[in-house]
Amino acid sequence: MQNFPENLIDLAEYRDREWVFTDRHHAGRVLAGLMEGQVDPGSIILAIPAGGVPVACPLADSLQLDLDVLVVSKITFPWNSEAGYGAVAQNGLVRLNKRILDRVRLSEADIEAGIIATKSKVDRRIKALREGRSPLDLNHRHVILVDDGLASGTTMSVALEAVSQLNAASVVLALPTSHLESIRWIGNRADRIYCANVRRGRSFAVAAAYRQWSDVSEDRVIELMAKVHRPS
């Protein structure tokens, strides 16, 4: 695995391929096979809504681990709701991606408006998905962070920092798909990275790993989380 980070575990037969997963549920099953017997049995899986939840549910079921959500949302561009230049986490952490902002023209007012709108979105999701539960207690727990893919890495970077601030014992990333450069950018901020489908090249889209792809609604996330074992 020349030039692949030492903390990365992937599937060689999936490298640089598109359309490798049927859907997010299938991706979670593939990750479970990759991770089986490799994680601490006391770990907690934290899914990043919305797309990370349908990946995390079969993963948690297969590995027989607790599952909860870590609400982190990217700060998107006014002209593109799919692309972001920063992220906000549920503990109030805000981070901007200077690599991206250096390449675009955004005023300070645009950035501030984006942060305010994203904080409001995070607050709404916390109320809907955590249903009045106490804040997560991750003190000395082994955490597995799950999303449906890693594009720029901004959202996951903020998620990692938020978990670190909550004093987790270790942090593992579980990702169906990612661009190799984003994994390199995350680097050793994660103790280990499981990613079934690592791709290189000039262009990358998370959706290109899935034969069936659509947005995951908040109602669907609530429905899925109602069926899983969550820590008390």
Q: What percent of the chain has pLDDT over 70?
A: 99
* DSSP E strand stretches across the chain: 8-10, 44-47, 66-69, 72-77, 80-89, 94-96, 142-146, 170-179, 192-199
pTM beyond cutoff 0.85: yes
Residue ranges in 131-200 assigned as alpha helix (H): 154-165, 180-186
Q: What is the pLDDT of residue 232?
A: 58
pLDDT in tens, 73-112: 989 888 887 778 889 999 899 999 888 888 888 888 999 9
Fold type of domain 8-225: Rossmann fold (3.40.50)
Higher confidence at residue 199 or residue 229?
199
Q: How confident is the model at residue 1 (pLDDT cuts 50, 70, 90)?
A: very low
Q: How confident is the model at residue 49 (pLDDT cuts 50, 70, 90)?
A: very high
Q: What is the pLDDT of residue 14?
A: 97
Rg (C-alpha) for the chain, rounded Å, is 17
pLDDT in tens, 123-160: 999 988 887 787 788 999 999 999 999 988 888 999 99
List the domain boundaries for the chain.
Answer: 8-225
